[in-house]
Chains A and B, each alone.
Chain A
Amino acid sequence: MSNRYDIAIIGSGPAGLSAAINAKIRNKKIIVFGNEQFSNKLIKAPRIDNYLGFHGIKGQELKEQFANHIKAMDIKINFERVNNVYAMGDYFALMAGDNNYEAKTVILATGIEFTRPLKGEEEFLGRGVGYCATCDAPLYRNKVVSIIGYNKEAEEEANFVSELAAKVYYVPMYNGVYNIKSTVELVKDTPLEVIGDLRVRKLVLKNREIETDGVFPLKDSVPPSQLVPGLEMEDGHIKVDRHMQTNIPGCFACGDCVGRPYAYMKSAGEGQVAALRAVNLLDNRTK
């Protein structure tokens, strides 16, 4: 119980950091998950003219300002990647690699994933399509599995699955040296569609078709509805009310992941609203 945080913030872009500073001002025990760059989109911006008070600033410079701000407030970012958030009722369980965390409330500030799902990917989710190959591997014992890898970590999953499955295909979505076992067949082609009937039968690529029982697209970030099972989405974004509350009590969302416009100040504003609402909820609970 002593390790249960008041608020877990997932994401270190403007929304997540604004949520963090506001929660910290209100003296809550917080944990922030993110990366060293804070936000890949932020550091790539050549010039920003619509962030009030910082006319003509470079994304990289604004990032430095954010870094100074959180440092001054003694807020640290935890560089682990959160894979799953489970709503347990009166608290949330967060899975990050081998570590588990508990928090009373959660603020999602994960941004938006620009990689669109494959045709058929969502349709066959749970019926042959999955996002964690190692989790479901034992169900594919002696079967054929295709892994679409968007990053190096997917190679390890392919190697692991190959110990159980009858056959593993690896379709890399990046260039590099692939550290895969000789039993894993490398397929350098572009995946187009997952097809099947009651369950997955084939992965269709530009130049060939693979007969397969399972397809695992392994990306940098999973869709929000996979990250938080049971989360309600609307038009590709997390559905929230004007207090940034999602359909799961105690779970808030802010920034690009809740909808357009995709802008820094809108994200920061929403992060503040989410944090204050979470604080409000926590204070009412302890009354």
Chain B
Amino acid sequence: MVKEISSMNFNTEVMEENVPVVVDFWATWCGPCRMLGPVIEDVSNELSGKAKFVKVNVDENPDIAQKYGIASIPTVMVFKGGSVVGNMVGFRPKNEIMKVLESHI
């Protein structure tokens, strides 16, 4: 399951989390983001228990997007202990996302 979060709860949901957190930065007007959504959902089911999956709408949360230098979406970041350990820009097929995530989880 991929939980929708905002700048209000970003700290508690991502930074203070003990398990690895996968953050999907997206927006409603972005075609590739809409395609990536179901793929990430699929990946989250496969990796449930191993990592936490959240998504951030960059339109509604420009401060977070700014802070992490999001210049293109979709961008998927992996956080561990409050720091960024992985970064994927653009749509990726499921097997590739799995490969990247498994190296961080």
A214 at the B interface (CB under 8 A) = yes
Q: Mark B41-59, 1 if CB is under 8 A from A, else 0.
A: 0100000000000000011
Option from A89, A95, A214, A248 in Cβ contact (under 8 Å) with B31: A95
Contact A138 B71 (CB under 8 A): no
Within 8 A of B (CB), among A208-242: 214, 229-230
**A230-B70 CB under 8 A given contacts A84-B32, A135-B30, A135-B32:** no
How many A residues touch the partner, as a band?
Answer: 20 to 34
How many B residues touch the partner, as a band?
Answer: 20 to 34
**A88-B38 CB under 8 A given contacts A127-B71, A248-B93:** yes
Option from A87, A199, A229 in Cβ contact (under 8 Å) with B90: A229
Most chain A Cβ neighbours within 10 Å, of B39, B42, B72, B96 = B72
A166 at the B interface (CB under 8 A) = no
Contact B94 A89 (CB under 8 A): yes
**A87-B73 CB under 8 A given contacts A95-B31, A138-B29, A139-B65:** no
**A230-B71 CB under 8 A given contacts A88-B39, A89-B42, A139-B65:** no
Contact B71 A229 (CB under 8 A): no
Smallest Cβ distance from B29 to chain A, in angstroms?
7
Question: Which residue from chain B places its CB closest to the CB of A92 in the assembled complex?
Answer: B93
Please indicate the chain A residues that have their CB under 8 angstroms from the CB of B71 in the complex: 126-128, 130, 136, 139, 199-200, 214
Within 8 A of B (CB), among A80-122: 84, 86-89, 93, 95
Q: Mark A118-146, 1 if CB is under 8 A from B, else 0.
A: 00000001111010000110110000000
Interface contacts (Cβ under 8 Å), in number, total: 63
**A229-B32 CB under 8 A given contacts A126-B72, A128-B71, A139-B58:** yes
Please indicate the chain A residues that have their CB under 8 angstroms from the CB of B92 in the complex: 229-230
Please indicate the chain B residues that have their CB under 8 angstroms from the CB of A128 in the complex: 71
Smallest Cβ distance from A200 to chain B, in angstroms?
8
Q: Mark B7-43, 1 if CB is under 8 A from A, else 0.
A: 0000000000000000000010111100100110010
Question: Which residue from chain A places its CB closest to the CB of B96 in the assembled complex?
Answer: A230
A177 at the B interface (CB under 8 A) = no
Contact A89 B73 (CB under 8 A): no
Q: Mark A183-216, 1 if CB is under 8 A from B, else 0.
A: 0000000000000001110000000000000100
CA distance A132 to B25 in the complex (A): 17
Smallest Cβ distance from B73 to chain A, in angstroms?
7
Known pairs A138-B27, A139-B72; list 19 more (Cβ under 8 Å): A84-B32, A84-B91, A86-B32, A86-B35, A86-B93, A87-B94, A89-B39, A89-B42, A95-B31, A126-B89, A127-B71, A127-B72, A135-B32, A136-B71, A136-B73, A138-B59, A229-B90, A230-B91, A230-B92
Q: Which 10 pairs of residues, A with B, have the shortest CB-CB distance?
A: A126-B89, A87-B93, A229-B91, A230-B93, A86-B35, A126-B72, A230-B92, A230-B96, A229-B90, A128-B71
Binding site for B on A (CB under 8 A): 84, 86-89, 93, 95, 125-128, 130, 135-136, 138-139, 198-200, 214, 229-230, 248-249
Q: Could you list some 12 contacts between A and B, CB below 8 A?
A: A86-B32, A86-B35, A86-B91, A87-B93, A87-B94, A89-B42, A95-B31, A127-B71, A139-B71, A198-B69, A230-B93, A248-B95
